[in-house]
Amino acid sequence: MVNNWPIIDHLFGASCPLCAVPGAAICPACHANLPFNRHACRRCALPLPREAPPASLCAACLRDPPGFDAVTAPLLYTHPVDDLVARLKYRHELFVGRILADVLSGFVNTGRDMPDVLVPVAASANRLRSRGFNQAAEIARHLGKQCRLPVASDLLRRRDSAHTQRGLGRRARRGNIRGVFECRQQPPGHVALVDDVMTTGATANEASRVLRRAGATRIDVWVVARTPEPG
Ligand SMILES: [Zn+2]
Ligand SMILES: [Zn+2]
């Protein structure tokens, strides 16, 4: 006989998503073992070598400063964070979105210097149709509640780009994504862009460029996890 209770627990998120002990969040033991992104570029949150002085900038930010002001990315996009993100994105385990927002909220919900609005990185209409939801909007929705901030889910519109960003390097990604976002209203001055993962930063950079042109004066980027540089 099949016992359905674990499935129901799973659906409602009544257990740690990593080890399944009862509870509504990542349990303390699993939380302590998460791959935190402790030593990172102060602008783009790229993980830096241990020997880099604290609050350093990475080579890319020194050479070519990005369009956003600062990135908060508490976790590294490695095991088990990659699994959690995949469960949200591809298996539609929506409670994982709330759990990831909880982790991020612990780092951004400081009460000081908070943005006027949260703007999830938009998904294209085709992507929304095929996936059924936008994981960035899902994370932003929970973060908005936790931080008591408004969420402007419709501020950015994203056209379908001809090619996926997957497998492209930093420069190719920047070219590929140019012009895909449109800002539909004037944003308030201080915006936090929200997404699940930052890979090269090309998407956040392009969205920031569009928001700034539309009137935003400060753009923070809040993502759950940052991909370490390949190699
Ligand atoms: Zn656990
Ligand atoms: Zn950087």
Per domain, the residue ranges of the chain are 1-33, 36-226
Task: Supply the pLDDT for residue 230.
Answer: 66
Give residue 220 CA to ligand 1 midpoint distance, Å: 30
Closest ligand relative to 29 C-alpha: 1
Task: Supply the pLDDT for residue 1.
Answer: 37
Give residue 27 CA to ligand 1 midpoint distance, Å: 4
Give residue 31 CA to ligand 1 midpoint distance, Å: 7
Closest ligand relative to 48 C-alpha: 2
Whose tokens are 């703007």? That residue is: 119
At the topology level of CATH, where does 36-226 sit? Rossmann fold (3.40.50)
Model-level pTM?
0.90
Give pLDDT tens digits along the chain (231 positions). Answer: 334 444 444 455 589 999 999 988 999 999 999 999 999 999 999 999 989 998 899 999 999 999 999 999 999 999 999 999 999 999 999 999 999 999 999 999 998 999 999 999 999 999 899 889 999 999 999 999 999 999 999 999 999 876 676 777 767 777 778 899 999 999 999 999 999 999 999 999 999 999 999 999 999 999 999 998 765
Give residue 40 CA to ligand 1 midpoint distance, Å: 26
Closest ligand relative to 204 C-alpha: 2
Task: Supply the pLDDT for residue 5.
Answer: 43
